[in-house]
A = this chain, B = another copy of it.
Amino acid sequence: MLNFEFKNPTKIIFGKGEIHKLAKEIPQNAKLLVLFGGGSIMKNGIYDQVKNALVGIDWIEFGGIAANPEYAVLMDALQIIKEKKIDYLLAVGGGSVIDGTKFLAFAAKYKGNDPWEILKKSIRAYEDDTLPFATVLTLPATGSEMNSGYVISRKETKEKLSCGGPGLFPQFSILDPEVIRSIPKKQIANGIADAYSHVLEQYMTFPTSATLQERMMESIMLTLQEIAPKVMQNEFEYEAAANFMWCCTMALNGLVSKGVPTDWAVHSIGHELTALFGIDHARTLAIIAPSHYRYNNANKIGKLCQYAERIWNISLENNNDKAELGIQKMETFFHSIGIPTRLSDYTEEYLGTAEKIQQVFTERKWMLGERKNIGPNEVLEIVKMSY
């Protein structure tokens, strides 16, 4: 087990009908900006629940933070924060709104001239560097509601960069599984694939001696597989929704990866597919993961076999067969929730993609994976295998 530090101070308020607790969590004297996305919260009643809970608090709102939160949009929000002397932020949304809010919490107090520097230079935010903020989660997927990381996109430069820091944990996050009632099935599927991929990135390295962490990660994958058909069906099942929501949070709140190596190559490559084709983030992960695991079979064989055995009860004798069958089961799982796993399922213009992404990684000089042995040439092969 690797040495580690772990601290996660976010307060989770979980359960049916808990949005009203905003009232007692937000300081009464706060000057609050409520941030949200495309307006779905107006239709599903969440906006009204938030509004009712905020009676007596001085607040204004900023809507329109879409998926892959856009730097230019956030700059508009930043201007409002400064003009109106906002001192507390509340994200009402999914990972994109929350990620955008994290960036703003830091940018609002950033002393440099150009806030984009934060991302370009990976400047971490510490406790006194940020405005306090909280979240009401409306779309389980990214785990952003209980971690301190965020990803911001910039159309102008076709960049998608991530950053974070201990000053960027939400003060509190309200997780009411009832919000899942009104989420389109496509987005629920994305949430499942996203959370499942988060676990894979922390799990599919090599067998470690961190037995408890590995079993906890297996617990999340098994639970996601178990509840996936229930949350994808038309009838709403609260209990399945609650498990789905809690799995998404636990998959990326930092706990399960403590003391173990992590990969994250799938995310790095997947981000480029979103940048090039606008494919939903979670779907890019389902495209890249199987090819990544097949290409790196030799290095990951031990963990691929453990995955096949413990997650899919596969007991073949030959390890390569076992690993391959595990990967096929993974693909079948993604397909079962309506998520194709080939780039050609999403775009006809896939030829040349591998070379373009190879070029990006050549320029960035990034080496990926738990062994940092995946360079531009390996990325080329992995993306080609995913066509």
Residue A246, interface by CB 8 Å:
yes
Q: Is the CB of B209 within 8 A of A242?
A: yes
Residue A212, interface by CB 8 Å:
yes
Q: Is the CB of B246 within 8 A of A212?
A: yes
Q: Is the CB of B1 within 8 A of A243?
A: yes
Contacts of A119 on B, CB cut-off 8 Å?
none
A9 to B2, CA, bound (A): 22
Residue with the greatest number of chain B CB neighbours at <10 A, chosen from A2, A213, A216, A239 = A216
Q: Is the CB of B6 within 8 A of A14?
A: yes
A2 to B359, CA, bound (A): 50
Residue A11, interface by CB 8 Å:
yes
Q: Is the CB of B6 within 8 A of A9?
A: no
Residue A10, interface by CB 8 Å:
yes
Residue A320, interface by CB 8 Å:
no
Supposing A212-B247, A246-B212 touch, asked if A12 and B3 sit within 8 A by C-beta, the answer is no
Q: Is the CB of B1 within 8 A of A18?
A: no
8 Å CB interface, A1-25 against B: 1-18
User: Which bucket holds chain A's interface residue count?
Assistant: 35 or more
Nearest-Cβ distance from residue A172 to partner chain B, whole angstroms? 8
Supposing A6-B12, A15-B1, A212-B250 touch, asked if A242 and B219 sit within 8 A by C-beta, the answer is no
- Dominant secondary structure of chain A at its interface with chain B: mixed
8 Å CB interface, A237-265 against B: 239-240, 242-243, 246-247, 250, 255, 258-259
Contact with B along A31-75 (1 / 0, CB 8 A): 000000000000000000000000000000000000000000000
Nearest-Cβ distance from residue A4 to partner chain B, whole angstroms? 5
A227 to B258, CA, bound (A): 19
Q: Is the CB of B7 within 8 A of A211?
A: no
Supposing A219-B216, A239-B209, A243-B212 touch, asked if A18 and B6 sit within 8 A by C-beta, the answer is no
Residue A385, interface by CB 8 Å:
no
Supposing A209-B243, A215-B222, A239-B209 touch, asked if A3 and B14 sit within 8 A by C-beta, the answer is yes
Q: Is the CB of B7 within 8 A of A210?
A: no
Nearest-Cβ distance from residue A227 to partner chain B, whole angstroms? 7
| Cβ-neighbour of A12 out of B5, B211, B215, B222 (below 8 A) | B5
Known: A209-B243, A246-B259. 8 other contacts (CB 8 A): A3-B14, A209-B239, A209-B242, A212-B223, A212-B243, A216-B216, A219-B219, A242-B259
